[in-house]
Amino acid sequence: MAGLLNIPKLVDFRNKVKRHPSLEFPVLSLKGKTTIAVHHSLTKQGLAGSNAEGYARYHVDTLGWPSIGYSYVIEPDGTIKFCNDIELRTYHVGDHNNYAVGICLTGDFRTEKPTKAQEESLRNLVFGLQKAYPHLKFVKGHNEFSGYEWKACPCFDYKAILANKTISKPIENKVSGVSTSKPSKPKSKSIDQLADEVIKGLHGSGAQRKNSLGSQYDAVQKRVNEKLLGSQPKPKPATKSIDQLVKETLAGKHGNGEARKKSLGKNYKAVQDIINGKSSAPKKTDSKPKTLKVGQKVKIKSSAKKYATGQTIPSQYKNKTYTIQQVKSDRVLIKELYSWVKKSDVQ
Ligand SMILES: [Zn+2]
């Protein structure tokens, strides 16, 4: 498990970003990692959720990924959030994920610029990584990987930033001496405790509070709002598709007769109909689910309007050939776009 460096402003976030309850990124050989990939988040600095925690939630909840797609996120205050061990095959440059380690700078650099603190942390991180792992010889922007020339990423001149070879001195006792074999334990004060302190006024307000809480500001602030509104975060119940339930039933997981009826509940009839051959597909959607497979090449129809997640599909993405990375009952994950598209919208 590699990537926990002794450099200024690096914090271990591996236990703090959202992770999928069952999926995990594949573990690859560390030596196989040769290239650092630089991204921007395409989300404006300072917005709620425009941070590593927010990207992780989006990648898990919306895209169905094991966790955040990057190994490191550099926030506007220069904090480097270490989110994934670098030997993992996380998702950020499609076919190149096997050998690339992803660094994302928070910001929409089509209109914003990296802060000085981000520039300094990018230098510390890239040079720190290359010193610790000499096989990480190359640094590339997302759009310098073949197949991604059309991507507006990272939209800033990272080469100019890295041309300055100055690095900050490691801070003694910050992360030095930390074994890289295990994620470190969360800080002694929990988000909950900190939120209570904020409510009591112990961390001041505005910029003072931000300073006092540092990288935990967003998480604490969220908790404070939850506490003040009296609402607790509710885990979403996992819903299984009829397809999955049919498979499970055929595998004997739901028993027979009454036991099966009880186990499947309101889905019993739909599942049973498919098994009995009365129906060949779930009747949930009016469009017929197609047999689409991972790795298959598809086009997004020009008639397609929105991604399965609701955002508008830009017209330049339509009628182009893409690769399927994951398949669900009604949608497919398009590898090159990191987006879910309805099955009825591809051909
Ligand atoms: Zn990118």
For the stretch 41-60, pLDDT in tens is 999 999 999 999 999 999 99
Cβ atoms within 10 Å of 264's Cβ, excluding its own: 21
pLDDT of residue 238: 59
Question: In angstroms, what is the span from residue 80 Cα to ligand 1's centroid?
Answer: 17
Whether 31 is in a domain gets the answer yes
Question: In angstroms, what is the span from residue 36 Cα to ligand 1's centroid?
Answer: 12
Task: Identify the band that residue 346 occupies on the pLDDT scale cut at 50, 70 and 90.
Answer: very high
**Of all residues in the chain, what percent carry a pLDDT higher than 70?**
88
Question: In angstroms, what is the span from residue 68 Cα to ligand 1's centroid?
Answer: 13
- Interval 18-23 mean pLDDT: 96
Question: In angstroms, what is the span from residue 92 Cα to ligand 1's centroid?
Answer: 7
Whether 1 is in a domain gets the answer no
**Is the pLDDT score of 334 beyond 90?**
no
Question: In angstroms, what is the span from residue 209 Cα to ligand 1's centroid?
Answer: 32
Residue that finishes a domain, picked among 183, 201, 227: 183
- Residue 178 per-residue DSSP state: -
- What CA–CA distances, in Å, run from 92 to 38, 75, 254, 332? 10, 18, 38, 17
Which is higher by pLDDT, 277 or 5?
5
Residues 300 and 333 in one domain: yes
Question: In angstroms, what is the span from residue 171 Cα to ligand 1's centroid?
Answer: 30
Question: In angstroms, what is the span from residue 144 Cα to ligand 1's centroid?
Answer: 10
- Prior bond to 76 cis, omega within 30? no
- Residue 155 per-residue DSSP state: -
Q: State how far the Cα of 249 lies from the Cα of 191, in Å rounded to an integer.
A: 42
Question: In angstroms, what is the span from residue 210 Cα to ligand 1's centroid?
Answer: 28
CATH number, domain at 83?
3.40.80.10
**Is the pLDDT score of 158 beyond 80?**
yes
Question: In angstroms, what is the span from residue 40 Cα to ligand 1's centroid?
Answer: 6
Task: Identify the band that residue 127 occupies on the pLDDT scale cut at 50, 70 and 90.
Answer: very high
Question: In angstroms, what is the span from residue 53 Cα to ligand 1's centroid?
Answer: 17
Whether 15 is in a domain gets the answer yes
Nearest Cα neighbor of 37 from 129, 173, 131 is: 129
Q: Which domain holds residue 251?
A: 239-284
Residues 194 and 222 in one domain: yes
Residues 90 and 31 in one domain: yes
- What CA–CA distances, in Å, run from 189 to 35, 79, 80, 192, 213? 36, 19, 20, 8, 11
Q: State how far the Cα of 203 lies from the Cα of 221, in Å rounded to an integer.
A: 11
Residues 22 and 86 in one domain: yes
Question: In angstroms, what is the span from residue 193 Cα to ligand 1's centroid?
Answer: 36
Question: In angstroms, what is the span from residue 41 Cα to ligand 1's centroid?
Answer: 7
- The number of distinct structural domains making up the chain is 4
Residues 230 and 299 in one domain: no
Nearest Cα neighbor of 37 from 95, 97, 89, 118 is: 97
Whether 56 is in a domain gets the answer yes
Residue that finishes a domain, picked among 268, 284, 300: 284
Question: In angstroms, what is the span from residue 296 Cα to ligand 1's centroid?
Answer: 23
CATH number, domain at 324?
2.30.30
Question: In angstroms, what is the span from residue 167 Cα to ligand 1's centroid?
Answer: 25
pLDDT of residue 250: 84
pLDDT of residue 282: 47
The string of pLDDT tens digits covering residues 90-104 is 999 999 999 999 999
Residue that finishes a domain, picked among 284, 303, 318: 284
Whether 4 is in a domain gets the answer no
Among 80-89, 182-191, 214-223, 318-327, name the most confident range: 80-89
Question: In angstroms, what is the span from residue 15 Cα to ligand 1's centroid?
Answer: 23
Residues 36 and 95 in one domain: yes
Question: In angstroms, what is the span from residue 58 Cα to ligand 1's centroid?
Answer: 15
Q: Is 88 helix (H, G, I), strand (E, B) or coil?
A: strand
Question: In angstroms, what is the span from residue 38 Cα to ligand 1's centroid?
Answer: 7
Whether 32 is in a domain gets the answer yes
Question: In angstroms, what is the span from residue 256 Cα to ligand 1's centroid?
Answer: 49
Residues 297 and 160 in one domain: no
Question: In angstroms, what is the span from residue 142 Cα to ligand 1's centroid?
Answer: 5
Residues 161 and 280 in one domain: no
Whether 2 is in a domain gets the answer no
Residues 40 and 159 in one domain: yes
Residues 294 and 336 in one domain: yes
Contacts (Cβ under 8 Å, ≥6 apart) of 337: 317, 322
Residues 75 and 143 in one domain: yes
Q: What is the pTM of this model?
A: 0.53
Question: In angstroms, what is the span from residue 111 Cα to ligand 1's centroid?
Answer: 15
Question: In angstroms, what is the span from residue 97 Cα to ligand 1's centroid?
Answer: 12
Residues 163 and 292 in one domain: no
Q: Is 212 helix (H, G, I), strand (E, B) or coil?
A: helix
Whether 5 is in a domain gets the answer no
**Is the pLDDT score of 181 beyond 50?**
no
Question: In angstroms, what is the span from residue 110 Cα to ligand 1's centroid?
Answer: 12
